[in-house]
Amino acid sequence: SFFTFWTPPTTAQLTIETVPPLAAEGSDVLLLAHNMTENPLGYAWYTGERVENSQLIASYRIATNVTTKGPAHSGRETLYPNGTLLIQHVNQKDTGSYTLLITRDDLQTERQTGHLHVHPVLPTPVITSNNSNPWEHEDTVVLTCGSETQNTSYIWWINNQSLPNSTRLELSEDKRTLTVFNVTRNDTGPYVCEA
């Protein structure tokens, strides 16, 4: 006997993309849905990973072009007809999961969860020095960049250029402290630290 097998074409899975992927407090973030089902009846966005009415941000019905705000709507969210959710002026409390529920034309649903992490805005760093009047060829000057902040990287410039290779310059392991050994007049200039 002869059997014919038919395998339906595979469809790409629904995914959520956060744009930008790293959001700072005060910025606007888009939650974009990719590989959505064709001809859906509508969309609904929820805070968290569960689909509960109390967590509903907003829903959109395509046939009527109507958006309905839910209990979790803060006034900063906009749900677009293509299923994209915009959250304006994000803050630390917005960090977490967001779930998109799509209702298909056969009344079946699809859902996917995306994640948003909001980073705090760093304070402007201030450079402090252990010696504001060093003696040439005698003193060592230690410059420290701003207040220490977790998960922060530091970059230094001297005279608007990256640090030169020098045996007299040493960066701490966390790059927050720059030490200038046996200072000379040539070490004079603006020192800039970026956090």
Q: Where are the domains of the chain?
A: 15-119, 126-194
Share of the chain above pLDDT 90, in %: 75
CATH topology of domain 15-119: Immunoglobulin-like (2.60.40)
Cβ 115 vs Cβ 100: under 8 Å: no
Domain 126-194 CATH (choose: 3.90.120.10, 3.40.50.720, 2.60.40.10, 1.10.287.3510): 2.60.40.10
Cβ-based neighbours of 146, under 8 Å, separated by 6 or more: 123, 124, 125, 126, 127, 176, 193, 195
Split at pLDDT 50, 70, 90, the class of 37 is confident
pLDDT category of residue 135 using cuts at 50, 70 and 90: very high
Give the other-Cβ count within 10 Å of 179's Cβ.
Answer: 15
40-87 pLDDT, tens per residue? 999 999 999 999 999 999 999 999 999 999 999 999 999 999 999 999
Mean pLDDT of the chain: 91
Can you tell me the mean pLDDT for 183-189? 90
